[in-house]
């Protein structure tokens, strides 16, 4: 996992310990329930941790801000981002209870007090955040329908509040109604072949 530090040199010793502890925690859970694809555990730090952290290459969340992770699954991208930004509160939401159980265990073991996990549908939540993040959960239109009302009108960052979505493949049709969506190819940030087809979509809300 040392390649992560090649891309991110600002982790302190506590953050490094948290990152390095993730693999065993998820490996142990994965032996009981399918949190992450079994074959993907061999590429845990590349496919899950580094992929999640790519959002921080695009935007540095300010301390005191809040972020909603829609359909977080086992905690991606929310958990790695919570390690990177200890002063930001992350709301991790998933409708599958066993996955929230995993997140709460990881949160406890790593003392990630800036995470709150919800076993709920995102539409049923009632709070405001600066940004919503997600990883290959649903088309942008669906994400907007679910959670646009959770995005705060109060702006605290250099860019407008909105959605930061990790996606792959051809997005032309999905994004055609959204002319102000910005697409960033993750191979701008990383050299590994895994990221050649991976993208970050930023969609600001007015």
Share of the chain above pLDDT 70, in %: 100
CB atoms within 10 A of CB 168: 14
Q: What does the pLDDT look like over 17-65, one tens digit per residue?
A: 999 999 999 999 998 888 888 788 899 999 999 999 999 999 999 999 9
CB 130 within 8 A of CB 61: yes
Q: What is the mean pLDDT of the chain?
A: 96
pLDDT at position 206, please?
Answer: 75
pLDDT for 83 = 98
Both structure tokens of 160:
């407008």
What is the mean pLDDT of each successive set of 10 residues along the chain, which is 206 residues long?
Answer: 95 98 95 83 95 98 98 96 98 96 97 98 96 93 96 97 96 94 97 97 93
For the chain, give every domain's residue range.
3-204
Q: Quickly list H helices, 59-204.
A: 78-84, 97-110, 140-147, 172-175
- pTM above threshold 0.75: yes
Domain spanning 3-204 has what CATH number?
Answer: 3.40.50.150
């Amino acid at each position: 996992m040392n390649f992560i530090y090649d891309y991110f040199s600002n982790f302190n010793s506590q953050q490094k310990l948290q990152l390095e502890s993730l693999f065993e925690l998820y490996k142990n859970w994965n032996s009981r329930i399918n949190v992450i694809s079994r074959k993907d555990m061999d590429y845990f730090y590349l496919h899950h941790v580094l992929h999640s952290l790519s959002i921080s290459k695009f935007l540095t969340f300010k301390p005191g801000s809040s972020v909603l992770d829609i359909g977080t699954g086992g905690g991606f991208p929310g958990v790695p981002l919570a390690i990177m930004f200890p002063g930001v509160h992350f709301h991790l939401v998933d409708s599958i209870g066993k996955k929230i159980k995993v997140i709460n265990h990881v949160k406890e073991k790593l003392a990630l007090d800036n995470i709150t996990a919800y076993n709920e549908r995102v539409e049923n939540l009632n709070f405001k955040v600066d940004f919503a993040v997600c990883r290959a959960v649903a088309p942008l239109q669906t994400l907007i329908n679910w959670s646009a009302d959770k995005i705060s009108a109060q702006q605290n960052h250099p860019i407008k509040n909105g959605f930061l979505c990790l996606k792959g493949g051809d997005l032309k049709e999905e994004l055609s109604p959204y002319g102000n969506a910005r697409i960033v190819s993750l191979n701008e940030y990383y050299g590994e072949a895994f990221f050649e087809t991976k993208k970050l979509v930023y969609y600001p809300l007015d």
